[in-house]
Structure 1
Amino acid sequence: MRFQKLNTIAGACCLLLSATNIHAQSKPDSTKYNNYELFGPITWPSNGSEMRSPAGKPGPKYWQNRADYVIHATINELAKDTTISGQVTVNYTNNSPDKMDHLWMQLDQNMFEKGSRGDATTPIEGNRFGQPYPRGGYHIGTVTVTYKGQTYTVTPVISDARMQVRLKTPLGAGGDKISVKVNYDFSIPFYGADRMGRKTFKQGVVYEIAQWYPRMCVYDDVEGWNTLPYMGLGEFYCEYGDFDYYVTAPANMTVVGSGDLQNPNEVLTPTQQARMAKMRASDKTVSIITPEEVGQASAHVGTKPLTWHFKMLNTRDVSWAASKAFIWDGARVNFPSGRKGISMSAYPAESNAIGWNRSTEYLKGSMEIYSKLYYEYPWNSAVNVSGVALGMEYPGIIFCMSTWGGEQLWGDVTHEIGHNWFPMIVGSNERKYMWQDEGFNTFINQYSTKYFNKGEYDHPEARPAIGLAAPMAAMKTPLMTPSEAMGVGNNDYGFYYVKTSLGLDMLRNVVLGHDRFDYAFHEYIKNWAMKHPTPYDFFRAMNDAAGEDLNWFFKPWFFTTWTIDQAVTSVTHDKRDGANDMRITLVNKEKMAMPVDAKITQGDGKTEIIHLPVNIWQRGGTWTFKYNAPAGIQSIELDPDHQLPDVNRGNNIWKK
């Protein structure tokens, strides 16, 4: 999901920690800083176990359940409304050690009912995640369960956006399987919490369809059933499985979706099939439906409704879009292993006029860069759709703002497809820990922007640290705050994006250096791909692979709103020292601490950067060290590369 004030966070030069001649200064200080509070022992709420290793990896007995889906859905354009009617069959595997007397399913469309929790908790002035729809919500038909060869009908218990299915016979542990079939329908909201909905263009309505089938809640070793209701801002937490789905639409609509189209011979014209074959072999964008062909009968097969059949394997969700207005193009994607895939875009003429003809290029470039830098994209295709959503992501499909082009569109595309790494590949719980997907994704976006088309949209001079200092000082809620409790009106929720990303920048550029950070980050991604990591797994993984106890950083950055203020307070010459030795005194004035990078300019103009580790603050908030300066010291500047969101840069500089 895109944050409206998202900053592009540029990479910075590597600052490796090095030793220097320092001596303890044990006098008291009058700052807010408390070294015992920062460096005191931390006990995370979850300890290492056979399920989750203390090294931040899945343990030898790690398990997660599985949900495989077969879905049949029809889009019905009626006189007064447009609806989705469907049937979903969930084949659920219980790999946990627990028997289950009931199952929980998510009914996300129920958020759009009048009186839902999402509606009831929307501020009076409204926000982009509210707006109920008069005919919103699921209509649940029959619910049947098949277990050990016996099929029976159940009466589900529906509570807001959740549905409990109570079983006649408990589902066994350790790999037992059960099947649940649900018939349902719902009206498509015009504005579905900025995540789905419909928008009218000159040549037809674009329908972006998501949260479109009842789906299983996650049952894990941390919470058991995860049943937090969908209320708008908090996103999703889903089980992995295979999806086999069918979308029936009017013949004059084009349907694009997550995964691989299984029946192109039935839904595409011979010309379009030939163009798709050309597209799969081309690094340049190839048209499948040209602007001139939109609305022409020759661009579609027959006049009767068509059923589009898609499959996507080992994914946590699927989504799709349909419209009469779609221009459709695509190109080949080249993965590091040599495997090939495709990137595609579907958009109306209005978007084509402002630069959406480059959407496929943006999507292809992002997929190739992220695959090279972090983890190879595990699926075969992805598609970008222009419509009502500002920016939203699902496995293999993204929705981007129809009115954006150029650099804005690039930022939207590379952010939304970046979510296919966090949380679609590394499957964290978005509903509880929004920073673990939005922030990590914002962090990797700066590198796709750096490398795409030789930095066409890169702005390396735009460092975020300075711009974030004042907003962070006013921040009221820590990153570990659940998303529904985070302020929306004051844009505090934007810190899920930028503060998390800046924190990873600081670890990479200031604390660990590029090599150690990158190795640890890649280990985290590799070990938790297609699994469910918690924040504590991330903290442990970074500590283990980097070989550093970073709890002094994780605690304040993610659990508090503490700020940073490093200061140079004095430069003196003590006769007890060498003739050319100067004593430099630093103070850590705020509650958070970081390593110190000090640029020292000597009297003859020579400069040197001194690197002091964070450990200088372990004994207190004041530190004095000796520096040999035969020509004297002209000036000192702390954090000369502006890597830190220091709340008072005025005291970072000392001049003779």
Structure 2
Amino acid sequence: GAGEFYLEYGRFDVSLTVPATYIVTATGELRNAEQVLTAAQRSRLAAARRSDTTVAIIARDEAGNAARTRPATTGTLTWHFTADSVRDVAFATGPDFRWDASGYKGILIETLYRAKADRWEEAQRMARGAIINFSEHWFPYPWSHATTVEGPIEGMEYPMLTFVPNGPTREDTQWALAHEFGHEWFPMIVGSNERLYPWMDEGFNTFIDYENAASYFAGTAYGDSIQAHPLHLYAEHGVPGNEQPLMTNPTEVHDLFWSGYQKPALMLTLLRDEVMGRARFEQAFREYIRVWAFRHPTPADFMRVMRDESGMDLDWFWRGWLYTTARLDQSVDSITTRADGGSNVWLGNRGTMVMPAELALTFDDGSTSSVRLPVQMWNLGPRFMYRVPGSKRVTRASIDPRRALPDIDRANDTFPRPAR
């Protein structure tokens, strides 16, 4: 369902008995490798844990060849796993996996996939990139391995183990693989209640996924534009009749793609870029993860950490994004000339959402400038006069010139109005 899971943390001790020709991977630490893996595989895994590059545990020409990959080819073998501080357990098993691995700070990062999964040749590099990005940017990965398995399944996440399909494109494969690994942070580390607040799980994860994708594909058209994707989706999904407050119970959400994933990602992007600033936001978001690791935060807990770490009153922001379907429509209404020859620029807030704004100005001598105006300018109502310093006359003014905000009417963003 739309709410997925909400589970307590615990310790698991699991034994799985399967045909001897099958490989098993699972949540937890493998406790009897000597009984279920060959000496060559154990040696390769030890090397992979120390390696920055991909090590083939089961190579292409070995996959499905039990005589080369299994310590026994008849009967059954029992695989024993234990896991601490996890909220669930999953496993995958099959006779013909290819198996790649590499390491990062003692963590074994693994990909298991079928030979026909052609786009998974790069999956190990994608997997390692995601684990490193999320660990170094947000919170260190806490378990001994991070494993992803390709198969005929939509993406799904469990502690230490994810399932990902062979995507139609390289970009799709990277996104799905990194997204499922991102769930190791939300909700496997930060145990938010997915049953009530999917935006704290899928949404927070989607937000960090955009940053990771931009890093992985840096220097490409896709990488350079991917972080603007939620804003572009707003025009299609953030509309009356479809829009719902993020605090809506997931059983009543009719566009989970928007409410659960993309809208909260857009919310955090705007909070970072337009309200708090990157450095202040990232420090606060890291502290939220640290404080609530292996605990169960509520929305109020998240808001409290962001407020305390930033020193900013953000109630106005949460009101617009979490509790209402407010829409943003900022405008430049007119430019008037003062007695000293300088200008006053009159701004309007025609919607029900408030946000700070950037104002770009052009003067009669051809020079330009820009100014950032705080959200408090709307405290006294929907009109605000900005007194431009100096005596130069403003000939053109534009609000939100970078088009960073989800403004619903761009036609009133510039004065004089552009000719149509």
TM-score > 0.5, shorter chain as reference: yes
- Which of 448, 460, 471 is matched with 2:237 structurally? 471
SS at structure 2 position matched to 1:517: helix
Q: Is the Cα contact below 8 Å between 1:449 and 1:455 reproduced in 2?
A: no
- Which of 424, 444, 448 is matched with 2:208 structurally? 444
Assess, with a 3 A threshold, how the Cα gap between structure 1 residues 573 and 453 changes in structure 2: closer, same or farther: closer
SS at structure 1 position matched to 2:297: coil
Amino acid in structure 2 at the alignment position of 1:619: L
Q: Is the Cα contact below 8 Å between 2:210 and 2:227 reproduced in 1?
A: no
Structure 1 counterpart of 2:149: 385
Cα drift, residue 473 of structure 1:
2.2
Structure 2 counterpart of 1:59: none
Q: Is the Cα contact below 8 Å between 1:602 and 1:629 reproduced in 2?
A: no
Cα drift, residue 554 of structure 1:
0.4
- Which of 223, 236, 245 is matched with 1:458 structurally? 223
Cα drift, residue 470 of structure 1:
4.5
Q: Distance in 1 between the 2:411 and 2:124 partners?
A: 46
Q: Distance in 2 between the 1:557 and 1:410 partners?
A: 29
Q: Is the Cα contact below 8 Å between 1:345 and 1:383 reproduced in 2?
A: yes
Written as runs of structure 1 = structure 2, the 5 A alignment for 1:77-116 is: none
Structure 2 counterpart of 1:347: 113
Cα drift, residue 366 of structure 1:
0.8
- Which of 409, 415, 418 is matched with 1:648 structurally? 409
Assess, with a 3 A threshold, how the Cα gap between structure 1 residues 613 and 375 changes in structure 2: closer, same or farther: same
Q: Distance in 1 between the 2:305 and 2:155 partners?
A: 30
- Which of 537, 548, 564 is matched with 2:301 structurally? 537
Assess, with a 3 A threshold, how the Cα gap between structure 1 residues 276 and 404 changes in structure 2: closer, same or farther: farther
Assess, with a 3 A threshold, how the Cα gap between structure 1 residues 459 and 281 changes in structure 2: closer, same or farther: same
Q: Is the Cα contact below 8 Å between 1:477 and 1:492 reproduced in 2?
A: no
- Which of 567, 572, 584 is matched with 2:331 structurally? 567
Q: Is the Cα contact below 8 Å between 1:469 and 1:646 reproduced in 2?
A: no
Q: Distance in 1 between the 2:34 and 2:334 partners?
A: 78
Structure 2 counterpart of 1:320: 91
Q: Are 1:285 and 2:51 matched, yes or no?
A: no
Structure 1 counterpart of 2:78: 307
Higher helix share: 2
Q: Is the Cα contact below 8 Å between 1:330 and 1:345 reproduced in 2?
A: yes
Structure 1 counterpart of 2:376: 615
Q: Is the Cα contact below 8 Å between 2:50 and 2:104 reproduced in 1?
A: no
SS at structure 1 position matched to 2:84: strand
Cα drift, residue 446 of structure 1:
2.0
Cα drift, residue 401 of structure 1:
1.2
The structure 1 segments of at least 4 consecutive aligned residues displaced by more than 4 Å after TM superposition are 453-457
Q: Distance in 1 between the 2:6 and 2:219 partners?
A: 34
- Which of 386, 392, 395 is matched with 1:634 structurally? 395
Q: Is the Cα contact below 8 Å between 2:343 and 2:391 reproduced in 1?
A: no
Gaps of 5+ in 2: none
Cα drift, residue 627 of structure 1:
0.9
Cα drift, residue 454 of structure 1:
4.8
Cα drift, residue 629 of structure 1:
5.7
Structure 1 counterpart of 2:282: 518
Deviation by residue 1:497-534 (Cα, 9 ceiling, x = unmatched):
11111111111111111222122212211110110000
Deviation by residue 1:226-270 (Cα, 9 ceiling, x = unmatched):
xxxxxx221111111111111111111111111221111111122
Q: Which stretch of the first structure deviates more once superposed, 423-432 or 287-296?
A: 287-296
Amino acid in structure 2 at the alignment position of 1:251: A
Q: Is the Cα contact below 8 Å between 2:146 and 2:161 reproduced in 1?
A: yes
Gaps of 5+ in 1: 1-231, 335-339
Structure 2 counterpart of 1:235: 4
Overall identity of the aligned pairs, in %: 38
Structure 1 counterpart of 2:343: 582
Written as runs of structure 1 = structure 2, the 5 A alignment for 1:235-254 is: 235-254=4-23
Q: Distance in 2 between the 1:425 and 1:468 partners?
A: 29
Q: Distance in 2 between the 1:630 and 1:581 partners?
A: 4
- Which of 100, 103, 111 is matched with 1:329 structurally? 100
Q: Which stretch of the first structure deviates more once superposed, 583-592 or 475-484?
A: 475-484
Cα drift, residue 580 of structure 1:
2.8
Deviation by residue 1:553-578 (Cα, 9 ceiling, x = unmatched):
10120111111000000001133xxx
Q: Is the Cα contact below 8 Å between 2:334 and 2:347 reproduced in 1?
A: yes
Q: Distance in 2 between the 1:248 and 1:342 partners?
A: 23
Assess, with a 3 A threshold, how the Cα gap between structure 1 residues 404 and 326 changes in structure 2: closer, same or farther: farther
SS at structure 1 position matched to 2:57: strand
SS at structure 2 position matched to 1:291: coil
Amino acid in structure 2 at the alignment position of 1:350: K
Deviation by residue 1:370-394 (Cα, 9 ceiling, x = unmatched):
1111110010101111112221111
Cα drift, residue 323 of structure 1:
1.0
Written as runs of structure 1 = structure 2, the 5 A alignment for 1:67-86 is: none
Q: Is the Cα contact below 8 Å between 2:328 and 2:353 reproduced in 1?
A: yes
Q: Distance in 1 between the 2:179 and 2:39 partners?
A: 35
Written as runs of structure 1 = structure 2, the 5 A alignment for 1:141-540 is: 232-298=1-67, 299-302=69-72, 303-334=74-105, 340-351=106-117, 353=118, 355-452=119-216, 454=218, 458-460=223-225, 463-464=228-229, 465-474=231-240, 475-487=242-254, 491-540=255-304
Q: Distance in 1 between the 2:333 and 2:75 partners?
A: 79
Q: Is the Cα contact below 8 Å between 2:28 and 2:83 reproduced in 1?
A: yes
Q: Distance in 1 between the 2:169 and 2:17 partners?
A: 31
Deviation by residue 1:122-150 (Cα, 9 ceiling, x = unmatched):
xxxxxxxxxxxxxxxxxxxxxxxxxxxxx
Q: Distance in 2 between the 1:241 and 1:492 partners?
A: 29
Assess, with a 3 A threshold, how the Cα gap between structure 1 residues 629 and 466 changes in structure 2: closer, same or farther: farther
Cα drift, residue 402 of structure 1:
2.5
Q: Distance in 2 between the 1:314 and 1:272 partners?
A: 27
Deviation by residue 1:76-119 (Cα, 9 ceiling, x = unmatched):
xxxxxxxxxxxxxxxxxxxxxxxxxxxxxxxxxxxxxxxxxxxx
Assess, with a 3 A threshold, how the Cα gap between structure 1 residues 308 and 405 changes in structure 2: closer, same or farther: farther
Q: Distance in 1 between the 2:326 and 2:177 partners?
A: 33
Considering only CA atoms, is the larger Rg found in Structure 1 or Structure 2?
A: 1
Q: Distance in 2 between the 1:272 and 1:516 partners?
A: 46
Written as runs of structure 1 = structure 2, the 5 A alignment for 1:22-33 is: none
Cα drift, residue 286 of structure 1:
1.0
Assess, with a 3 A threshold, how the Cα gap between structure 1 residues 386 and 470 changes in structure 2: closer, same or farther: closer
Assess, with a 3 A threshold, how the Cα gap between structure 1 residues 453 and 598 changes in structure 2: closer, same or farther: closer
Cα drift, residue 297 of structure 1:
2.4
Q: Distance in 2 between the 1:600 and 1:469 partners?
A: 27
SS at structure 1 position matched to 2:343: strand
Q: Distance in 2 between the 1:404 and 1:311 partners?
A: 35
Assess, with a 3 A threshold, how the Cα gap between structure 1 residues 256 and 586 changes in structure 2: closer, same or farther: same
Q: Distance in 2 between the 1:522 and 1:531 partners?
A: 15
Q: Is the Cα contact below 8 Å between 1:601 and 1:636 reproduced in 2?
A: yes
Q: Is the Cα contact below 8 Å between 2:101 and 2:108 reproduced in 1?
A: yes
